[in-house]
Amino acid sequence: MIEFKAVSKQYPTGQLALYNVNVRLQQGEMAFLTGQSGAGKSTLLKLIALLEHISDGEIFVAGQNIQQIKKSKIPGFRRNIGMIFQDHHLLDDRTVFENIALPLKIEGMRPQDIRRRVRAALDKVNLLRKEKEYPMMLSAGEKQRVGIARAVVNKPSIILADEPTGNLDPDLAQDIMHTFKQFNEYGSTVLIASHDHNLIKEMKKRIIVLRKVIK
């Protein structure tokens, strides 16, 4: 499903974030990406979502070399990837429902389908009662679950999460991880960047360790 072949990434500042990374994730697999701060976890996720471009090597997603995707096709490619961020990236002037509905609106879905899908996603993250509330009114855990609902509402084949439990207490973090596990069981390939080793061990999934490039 996702394959890195000798991938390196150097930022324009000269900082080498990744060097000669080779990794392969099967379709429907769930894995954790871990490593020190600055090891390139976030960079690796961004490369998959084409938010950054590689300096060397090749990345294949579903058999397609993603570097060859035309610029105009990148938004369509991203719609098949659900991304979750540590700081949620929710829009404060929109309700929970509207935040989650955003990917579906971009997709051009009919309002009745949007309503059905958003409610289903809210149900999966146990936030049905909060659909009319604004992000400011939610706890950190609830915000993260809204972020997850928005990432999965489009039923993406790949879910990428960057430190999704970073600001959460252990119980909430565990809840969130179980939510990811559920989506993985529905068939999505899930890759989570985290440095919470205890939590990762508990999940009993494959762990990919990135080491900081020293050059």
Partner 1 sequence: MVAKYTHQANSPLLKGLAHHKEAMIHSLLRLWHTPLSTWITLAAIAIALSLPASLHLFLKNLKSLTDDKREVPTISLFIKQGVSEKQARDQAELLRELSEIDKVVLIPKDVALKDFRKITGFAEAIETLDENPLPHVLVVTPHLKLLGDPENDMKRLARKLESYSEVDIVQMDIEWVQRLRGILRITERVILIISILLGMTVLLVIGNTIRLNIENRKEEIEVSKLIGATTAYIRRPFLYTGIWYGLFGGIISLVLVHLALMFLVTPVNELAVLYGSNFTINGLGIKNTLYILLVSSLLGLIGAWLAVGKHLRNA
| List of long-range contacts for 73-81, beta carbons under 8 Å, 24+ apart | 74/50, 75/106, 77/50, 78/49, 78/50, 79/103, 79/106, 79/107, 79/154, 79/156, 80/154, 80/156, 80/157, 80/158, 81/48, 81/49, 81/156, 81/157, 81/158, 81/159, 81/160
Least Å distance, CB 130 to partner 1, is 19
Please tell me the count of residues contacting partner 1 according to CB under 8 A: 34
Asked if 95 touches partner 1 (CB under 8 A), the answer is no
Contact letters for partner 1, residues 17-56 (x by CB under 8 A): --------------------------------x-x-----
Selection from 161, 144, 167 nearest residue 203 by Cα:
161
Out of 6, 91, 137, 209, name the contact with partner 1 by CB under 8 A.
Answer: 91
Asked if 110 touches partner 1 (CB under 8 A), the answer is yes
Out of 3, 29, 58, 107, name the contact with partner 1 by CB under 8 A.
Answer: 107
Asked if 108 touches partner 1 (CB under 8 A), the answer is yes
Can you list the alpha helix ranges (DSSP code H) found in the chain? 41-48, 74-78, 96-107, 111-124, 140-152, 170-185, 197-203
124 Cβ contact partners less than 8 Å away, ≥ 6 residues apart: 149, 152, 179, 182, 183
Candidates 5-13, 61-69, 196-204, 205-213 — which segment interacts with partner 1 by CB under 8 A?
61-69
Asked if 132 touches partner 1 (CB under 8 A), the answer is no
Candidates 29-37, 62-70, 135-143, 169-177 — which segment interacts with partner 1 by CB under 8 A?
62-70
Interface residues toward partner 1, by CB under 8 A: 49, 51, 61-64, 72, 75-81, 83, 89-91, 102-103, 105-110, 113, 150-151, 154-158
